[in-house]
Structure 1
């Protein structure tokens, strides 16, 4: 065989083998790339986007304006509420006090800045909202088991069931509140660790602060998957919930294990983790992801999921809300989905003006299944206060038992648009490699076929050239006949 032909055969075989190996190794290469790229180190590009999120995230606040607080002692009239908002703020998230530990973990705090955005806001920060007097109810609830004389003394300082303030005051600016100022100094409240504030607001003193969400310790990906939370305020188990409910576990929110039917995420504002359930696939920015929602598993009172009972802290309610009182200085705080979506009808039966809807009030996350990166995080939660009678405190002695909706928020986060092309390229590595492998294999096979065809054709031509010429026989000779003349001769 000529050297040129041999060389072409070798090239063809090499192309076929290379294409096959590239196709075979495509998923392995993606796994390796994910493992190497999702490791947090001080010098990595991942660390830059982790420490300072490049794009601000919208956060909408909705208040429930209480339209008939004067009827609270009339048992024939339900409390009526009107939703106002949204009031949109753009949230800037940063990591501060970052410490890289030798055991492959990182310790940090979270710092958040909120900037008001008129675009997306329905109303003004100067809108006035009437709402439950939560500092007063919180104090009464904490004092419900105190000495009768102490309760009577507290009763004289409580004068109103409701308060009316601007949205700005209710959120970040705060409004002067004598009880809030007094609670931080009284020995009765010492075990509740109530801050020494002179004003009350749901996000008072939080804007720009890194002290409210505690100290977090997370895996960097060196030894365990990046994003796995190890401890909060140096606790692996909090003091706020008993048993397994007090565990600090789940994701920090940066990355998840999307291989199962549930995921867990720890929320420091709630002092607990929340478990979300897989419900199907959906598409975000052209990428197919796994959708998880906050549903019955997280909101159950222990009836359907017995392991949830320790979240009740001894005060189990119908499914659909969870008790956050232990995390909120002992105040009767209960969290739910907005408008009591997915909750027992009991809650909406106590009030008027609410209308739960899946398309507006669902808490969901969409994860890219191979990397576990959130394609979409849409966190929606509602703060409710349990209004109930308290003996010896005149303001609350005759009130009905009602879960009063106060405020709900909607926070949305997606992959920054600048990072989307590179992320899609990463996910398409197997497809690109498989395509390249396929092209190489087809090229090799075609080359072999062409070479084989050329060899066969050349052989046929050579055989034709070397064959001797034969004179054509006449028809009689062809039949084996001879003439008379040939016989006589």
Structure 2
């Protein structure tokens, strides 16, 4: 009697095992990939992601455009005529410092240090340019005095006249930006108690970016998810010790979303991209605009549009951001988180803003191609591919009868400057991303094909075994019949 070869049983068992394993992997591929990918992204001191996050080597540039006021002597009888000058281009170096890891709750806390160096070769303007802008110091002092009594306001009016403050100030671009300039009103402010300054730190000079270079305090103390507990890293948890924003109430006080460096995965066209921005002291909801590809990598593009800084005329979502009266749509009042200064932010050239904003000035020309704030993000992995962060800083003016300098000014927002930080992923990183996308997109298919291949091997092996078994049975029956016919042949 013949026996089935042992190798057939082993082959069948192995094929069945591999087929089951490949099928299970194919069905769970997305979950497996997500778990492995998240483990690589986690902000732990031993991970590659952490090292690249602490000191990013992606080239960063800050571009600043100043609005030169060409007719200050004719104001307020004539509209301000503004001429955009720039860009003043600065190379930015960024590091995360004072990092503390909290494994118990899966968070990581840090401060961000930024250093800017003027790039003379690529800038289209010089720091020696003479620029005229609105006198921000005087405008801020007048804004703070809105709730003062008659005598205090008159005292401020006399101080402005005594110190020679006018409606405008002309300085070198370098002084207006990072270097700063001295002003006797600053010395007077430093002699006042902190409560009179709205808690603002005392400074010895004034500049639009004075004190920010090399500072670790500008962005505040951030605490975000580390990604060690399967959640996405870089999602805001606390800011400067607050788990909710002290400047707003209700829904507007909530802090949620990405801190700007790690985006959610599996982004859709129907959900907004949610980002917490410390410069705005709030969470921003960016809406989907379109999809495209960058060197073969697909992306979803999310933008700040008409609804982002809406004054609640079209949606109630932004009403709690008003901090008082909502005057214009398309701008955000950030005075509450700027020590009570008359600061409003908008998109450059009042893009998507109330038409009245443009009616009050001349020289602005909003262009969506030049002034849109957008994030282009690879949707499955949440990798930012192309980012243009753009904001315009404006100072609020209103008539103040008891302060001579501002007695007849119109109620308006006066543009001072706008900034752009544009970052695009390098080709080398895009090459690595294509490999990761290939593994993610085709890994499940490859495993399914492997399962089919092993199933085929199992089928062939089983058929072969059945055929051999049947052949053995036929030969056995033949042998038995032969023995019956020829009993003498029996051994």
Q: TM bucket by the smaller chain?
A: 0.7 to 0.9
Report whether the alignment pairs 1:214 with 2:220. yes
Q: CA RMSD in A?
A: 2.9
Give 5+ residue unaligned stretches, structure 2. 469-491
Pairs within 5 Å for 1:124-203: 124-158=126-160, 159-187=165-193, 190=196, 192-203=198-209
Is residue 260–residue 277 contact of structure 2 (8 Å, CA) maintained in 1?
Answer: no
Inter-CA distance 449–212: structure 2 relative to 1 (3 Å threshold): closer
Structure 1 equivalent of residue 305 of structure 2: 295
- Secondary structure of the structure 1 residue equivalent to 2:151: helix
Q: 1:30: Cα distance to partner?
A: 1.4
Is residue 287–residue 368 contact of structure 1 (8 Å, CA) maintained in 2?
Answer: yes
For residues 189-234 of structure 1, what are the alpha-carbon distances to aligned partners after superposition, in whole Å with 9 as ceiling and x for unaligned? 5351122112111111111110222111111113443111111111
- Bigger drift between 379-388 and 19-28 goes to 19-28
Is residue 16–residue 445 contact of structure 1 (8 Å, CA) maintained in 2?
Answer: yes
Structure 1 equivalent of residue 248 of structure 2: 241
Is residue 15–residue 443 contact of structure 1 (8 Å, CA) maintained in 2?
Answer: no
For residues 218-254 of structure 1, what are the alpha-carbon distances to aligned partners after superposition, in whole Å with 9 as ceiling and x for unaligned? 1111344311111111111232223322233222112
Inter-CA distance 443–244: structure 2 relative to 1 (3 Å threshold): closer
Is residue 98–residue 110 contact of structure 2 (8 Å, CA) maintained in 1?
Answer: yes
The structure 2 residue matched to 1:381, chosen from 388, 391, 406, is 391
Report whether the alignment pairs 1:351 with 2:358. no
- Bigger drift between 378-387 and 278-287 goes to 278-287
Pairs within 5 Å for 1:6-155: 20-74=23-77, 77-101=78-102, 102-155=104-157
Pairs within 5 Å for 1:361-440: 361-415=371-425, 417-434=427-444, 436-437=446-447, 440=450
Is residue 56–residue 93 contact of structure 1 (8 Å, CA) maintained in 2?
Answer: no
- Secondary structure of the structure 2 residue equivalent to 1:405: strand
The alignment's TM-score, normalised by the length of structure 1, stands at 0.85
- Give me the whole-angstrom Cα distance separating, in 2, the residues matched to 1:184 and 1:368: 49
For residues 18-71 of structure 1, what are the alpha-carbon distances to aligned partners after superposition, in whole Å with 9 as ceiling and x for unaligned? 654443343232112123222211222111111111223111111111111111
Is residue 12–residue 462 contact of structure 2 (8 Å, CA) maintained in 1?
Answer: no
- Secondary structure of the structure 1 residue equivalent to 2:38: helix
Is residue 76–residue 410 contact of structure 2 (8 Å, CA) maintained in 1?
Answer: yes
- Bigger drift between 266-275 and 199-208 goes to 266-275
Is residue 72–residue 400 contact of structure 1 (8 Å, CA) maintained in 2?
Answer: no
Structure 1 equivalent of residue 471 of structure 2: none
- Give me the whole-angstrom Cα distance separating, in 2, the residues matched to 1:441 and 1:243: 53
Inter-CA distance 449–214: structure 2 relative to 1 (3 Å threshold): closer
Structure 1 equivalent of residue 327 of structure 2: 317
- Give me the whole-angstrom Cα distance separating, in 1, the residues matched to 2:253 and 2:459: 68
Structure 2 equivalent of residue 478 of structure 1: none
Give 5+ residue unaligned stretches, structure 1. 459-489
The alignment's TM-score, normalised by the length of structure 2, stands at 0.85
Is residue 30–residue 444 contact of structure 2 (8 Å, CA) maintained in 1?
Answer: no
For residues 279-298 of structure 1, what are the alpha-carbon distances to aligned partners after superposition, in whole Å with 9 as ceiling and x for unaligned? 23222343212221112332
- Secondary structure of the structure 2 residue equivalent to 1:299: coil
Q: 1:11: Cα distance to partner?
A: 7.0
- Give me the whole-angstrom Cα distance separating, in 1, the residues matched to 2:394 and 2:364: 13
Is residue 241–residue 310 contact of structure 1 (8 Å, CA) maintained in 2?
Answer: yes
Is residue 180–residue 198 contact of structure 1 (8 Å, CA) maintained in 2?
Answer: yes
- Bigger drift between 182-191 and 154-163 goes to 182-191
Pairs within 5 Å for 1:332-343: 332-343=342-353
For residues 148-206 of structure 1, what are the alpha-carbon distances to aligned partners after superposition, in whole Å with 9 as ceiling and x for unaligned? 12111211232210111122111111111222232233138535112211211111111
The number of residue pairs the alignment matches comes to 459
- Give me the whole-angstrom Cα distance separating, in 2, the residues matched to 1:211 and 1:448: 65
- Secondary structure of the structure 1 residue equivalent to 2:279: coil
